[in-house]
Structure 1
Amino acid sequence: MLVSYPALFYYDQSEKVPFFITFPDFTNSGTQGNDVTDAMSMATDWLGINVADYLENNRPLPAPSTLEEISLAKNNPYPEDLKYDSKRSFKSMVLVDLDSYLKGDIKIKKTVSIPKWADRAGADLHINYSATLTEAIAQAKMLHDSKIMNK
């Protein structure tokens, strides 16, 4: 299952690791990167680990902001301490495939009933019913959580 959230990439050349990355939708979020490629990789890993933790511990996920709703200045988590180069800093959506972060999950057998037409369609499409149901439940949870967080 793919999930994306916006991240802020602050660049400060005076730091040993010049990129500091934060996700405004998550409190106390942060990781670092040596260059843009490393920063994107670290951001993806941070997002995968943390969203998987939210799901595994049944915590409500925050609704993802849009890139238009966030800014480097407005969402600076440490405005007094975090100085950055505005020309080399940027904001970006970060995408992660949660499947690789949720692989260790214990499987539980469930028996479900579906309409005959759905069974035929699933067979024609070579649907993996377990994977499809798991993804649908995760998406329903994220939609439910975003509605709760927006109240």
Structure 2
Amino acid sequence: MDKYIYPAVFEKDEVAGYTVTFPDLHGAVTEGDDLEEALRMARECLELYLYGLEEDEEDIPKPSEPVSINLPVDSFITLVEVRMGSIRDEMMNKSITKNVSIPRWLERAAAKEKLNFSQVLQYALKERLGINDK
């Protein structure tokens, strides 16, 4: 599925800002200094939480009906909508760091030629895996 809508509980903090929880997603909690930031953080929290479930091949819980959620004092519910296509693309294309071991003589030869190790490794992996860039 690409689009999800979950109820989020926004609870006003005693000092300032909001804490946001998702009753259907255990451990999905974020906060913001004001309502605008809390909503932005809620969307990001939901995206990353659902992405993590997908990556771990876990079931994604069905969202509750907002009217069935018991609210704490000084709180309200807002529906948060996310579209997973863009977050999947972003996460899959995110660069990661991998340590590799190569002989010293090979490192020196490559450095002398001013080769970009990341580009060479990507090229070699794609070639080995039969992946053609479009």
TM-score of the aligned structures, taking structure 1 as reference length? 0.56
Show structure 1 runs of 5+ residues with no match.
Answer: 74-83, 107-151
CA distance in 2, matches of 1:42, 1:11: 15
Alignment map for 1:77-116 (pairs within 5 Å): 86=74, 89-103=75-89, 104-105=91-92
CA distance in 2, matches of 1:63, 1:101: 20
Q: What is the percent sequence identity of the aligned residues?
A: 30
CA distance in 2, matches of 1:12, 1:105: 35
CA distance in 2, matches of 1:23, 1:98: 17
CA distance in 2, matches of 1:26, 1:2: 16
Alignment map for 1:5-24 (pairs within 5 Å): 5-15=6-16, 18-24=17-23
Give yes or no for contact 1:11–1:20 (8 Å, CA) kept in 2: yes
Q: Which has the higher contact order (CA 8 A, sep 6+)?
A: 1
CA distance in 2, matches of 1:2, 1:47: 11
CA distance in 2, matches of 1:95, 1:50: 13
TM-score of the aligned structures, taking structure 2 as reference length? 0.62
CA distance in 2, matches of 1:71, 1:95: 21
Show structure 2 runs of 5+ residues with no match.
Answer: 94-134
Runs of 4 or more above 2 Å deviation: none
Q: What is the CA RMSD across the aligned residues, in angstroms?
A: 1.6
